[in-house]
Structure 1
């Protein structure tokens, strides 16, 4: 793909793209902060490097991930859970940068969810060919809080499903700077990401970085 496809000229604010009640895409919402967000990701990964987790069934996840915030999402043969300690280092996860917290709060507010205070941010790195299978975000236990998902780097096709895994899915193109927010009646919808295409972005090379904010504690 040509780099011109990923140029990011200033864009006027766009109205939210409603997927269903409680879920919407905020196009370009994180665009102005993108470079600073990615610089913060580098600082986070210098303390807690990307790693490929193992599922309870013993499968290696194709998406590399790490965390920041009071809690981090982890997976191993004993199950999925949130933990205040990075199992690789034995230390607390890096603190969530104020920029991250404010972006999550602002995006949630724009989607109609006021007072969002995330305590966990999953940082995922997608390489060409990697994907995220359909799943629900259920490990938080309390579903009163929304999910805020920020896309940075090369585009991806986001799968938006229903209340059951077998429900029909919609394919939604997510571009650099787009933010998806879902909560309320849409909080437990199945979602995923199709295999990432071969592409290049000026800020992330051949990768896509996804920040997913949650209230887990």
Structure 2
């Protein structure tokens, strides 16, 4: 159990749960996955500093009347990044709705994202496919092999449109794979991030 702390983001209170040691990892939740520190968060925190905010209008974060579309939400998360003091690049993970938001963020602010992981992402509305070409970081796209909510074609299209993406299919997992197989999901993400770290050139 990990209680939320509230962060002021330009006057808007945001519920944030944070734990772990390592490179910062911003985790954006799916619809309904709020109010709890999940096992997938705990497993990720074994290798990263996991920062898990709640979207405006979800969980303990109050709705905001300025939030009208995805663009507003993307800017909100850049404001949250600043409020958190994240000045360097960070790893960005999004599940379902959070995957859509994460993809839009990485396309809008490509220089800020070190790696992008999309877990069973929804979305891909016009003209988003063209926007995804702006993502410059390596990406991992995770498909739930038995997903009955998000078609495999949607997930695989994300993988094909992102310039530096690879697809991982977790067989037998439904759309709630972060609850069904949290350790498998977290292990795949941490391996992906560690592989990137090992291949990065040291700073001069």
TM-score (norm 1): 0.29
Higher strand share: 1
Higher relative contact order (CA 8 A, sep 6+): 1
Higher helix share: 2
